[in-house]
Structures are given as C-alpha cells and as structure tokens.
Structure 1
Amino acid sequence: MASGIQVHTDVTTIYNEMKVVKNNDDSNQRLRLVTFTIQGDVINVDLKVTQEEVTKKGQDAYQIFKEQLKDEECFYFLYDCHYKDHEGIGKEVLIFGSWIPDTCAVKKKMLYASSKCSIKKIMHGIKHHMELSDRTDILDHKSFAGQVGKGLQDIEGTCVCTKMKA
C-alpha cells in the first residue's frame, strides 16, 4: 500500500457476494455493477446496481456502466459481464478495473493509480483487469468486447460479431 489507502471491509463482502452466485439467489437482486471510490483514506463502495435496476432502466449493465464515466471523477469498478462466446454459449465473467480519465487532476490520478494494488489484492481470482483512461477505450459494446476476449458473439445481448456464420 504505497499510498496508505485502506480498503473498507464492505468491499470484500461485495466481492465475495458477486464472485459466488448461489442457485437459490433471486436473480433480480444479483449485483451487476459496483463502483468504489476513495473517501478520505479508505476505499468505499460508492454505487451498487442490481439486475432489477438494470431491467427497470430498460438498459443493459454495460450501458449503465458507461453512464458512470465522468471526465473529472475516478473510480474502481467490479462488473458482472454477461456474454456469449464464439459457440453461442452464455457465460459470465467478473471484470475489475479502474476509470482514471486523462482529463482528471494529476493528484487524483496519482492517488487512484497508487492505491489500485490495495483493492486489487482483495479481488483475487479475477480473470479480466481493465485500466480505462479515455472513453474511446470502450465506445460501444464491440470495442468493449475486444477488451474482454476474442470471438465473442454478444455482450449483454448486443451483437458484437464482425461476420455472420454461414
């Protein structure tokens, strides 16, 4: 912890809740997106979005994620991404990352960059890590899919295919 920033215990609780999905859990109450911000000298949970909230907004979780990207605000995120692979099989993956925009104040960018290792230690077992600094990194579902993996057919139900199967 080079920055001296601590991670609140709620962050660990949220991560464990998202990591282990139980069959008897209400799918509408399942967390799809969580953002974390530095408040004082602690990384805290800032925003929690459930599947029910995603459905009510009439958007997908990826669109709600994009809405959180502000030019002057940094945050870490944990996103439960639903996609179909090249064989059309539905899958889910947790993606951990940071939004540290180029347009943000230098001091804030340095604080978030140097504190990332503190929260990343808690997110052990995460397959995908992203460091986003510009909206062009994830303009649309297709560009985001390129960061998640190759050969994906869709992200959150939106086609990202470049060619049709014969």
Structure 2
Amino acid sequence: MANAASGMAVHDDCKLKFLELKAKRNYRFILFKIEQQQIVIDKLGEPNESYDDFTSSFPADECRYAVFDFDFTTEENCQKSKIFFIAWSPDSSKVRMKMVYASSKDRFKRELDGISFELQATDPSEMSLDIVKGRVF
C-alpha cells in the first residue's frame, strides 16, 4: 500500500522485523531506508549491540528512519524497555531526499505499533544517550 503523499510503499519485512524486535527482542535496533519507492530494512542490530553501535550505523549524508529498543531501570528498580523512533535527516543530505523522508515519516511510523516517542535528528548530538534518557524518565 503506497503512501498517498509520497508514493512510498512499506516492505513487509519492515513490519515483520519490527514485530520481532518488539515481541521477541531478536534485535536491538532496525535502520530503514527508502529505496526504489519503498521503505526497506537497511540494518538489523543484534540484541547485544550498544547505543553507540546504533548511532554509528547512521550514514553521515543520507536520511534514515530507525527504531531502538531502549532498556532502563526505573527509580523503583524495575527493568523496563521503550521503543523509540528516530527520523535522521543530516544537513549534508540532498534536499530531495529530506523531502521524501519527511513526507513519508508519519504514515510509516503509524505502521509500527508500539513506539513510545520520536526524535528528529540532523546531527548525532540531537540523538545522544542523554537526550534519550531525558525522554524516557
């Protein structure tokens, strides 16, 4: 089903792998990219990969969408996890690419049920671990 605003389809694997991340915790993160008028998986992060591994997976000059399964401990000492969405749009990427990603984001995000919060980032400092922790707690 293509997105009316951008003509973008979402590959079935995107939803399947997201469900595996959410329900089975098979992955720590997933990077998605737009390729040939559809959103496809760019990279799957292994369950033992860190937040640094995640942030270093983003290309410096291309847009991406991503989800990360963030584990944390509450003040009551409970182990919890929240899945968050990142819209990565570096300043150095092409204007057309930024426009396509921006126009497809909301519909794609709706396909992924269970996202706790979203971050928009144009450089790595905008998705630092401190910012994530600030949104979680």
TM > 0.5 between the two?
A: yes
Q: Which residue of 1 aligns with 2:16?
A: 13
TM-score by length of 1: 0.74
Q: CA deviation at 1:103?
A: 2.1
Q: Distance in 2 between matches of 1:4 and 1:143?
A: 32
Q: Which residue of 2 aligns with 1:131?
A: 120
Q: Distance in 1 between matches of 2:67 and 2:37?
A: 20
Aligned-pair identity in percent equals: 28
Q: Are the aligned partners of 1:5 and 1:118 in contact in 2 as well (CA < 8 Å)?
A: no
Larger radius of gyration: 1
Matching of residue 34 in structure 1 with residue 23 in structure 2 = no
Stretches of structure 2 lacking an aligned partner (at least 5 in a row):
none
Q: CA deviation at 1:12?
A: 1.1
Alpha-carbon RMSD = 1.7
Q: Distance in 1 between matches of 2:17 and 2:116?
A: 17
SS at match of 1:108: helix
Q: Which residue of 1 aligns with 2:131?
A: 143
Counterparts of 1:105-116 in structure 2, within 5 Å, are 105-116=94-105
CA distance 1:126–1:144, change in 2 (3 Å): closer
Q: Distance in 1 between matches of 2:88 and 2:79?
A: 27
Tell me which amino acid in the other structure corresponds to 2:38: V
Q: Distance in 2 between matches of 1:149 and 1:143?
A: 9
TM-score by length of 2: 0.88
Q: Distance in 2 between matches of 1:99 and 1:128?
A: 14
Stretches of structure 1 lacking an aligned partner (at least 5 in a row):
22-26, 55-59, 151-166
Q: Are the aligned partners of 1:96 and 1:123 in contact in 2 as well (CA < 8 Å)?
A: no
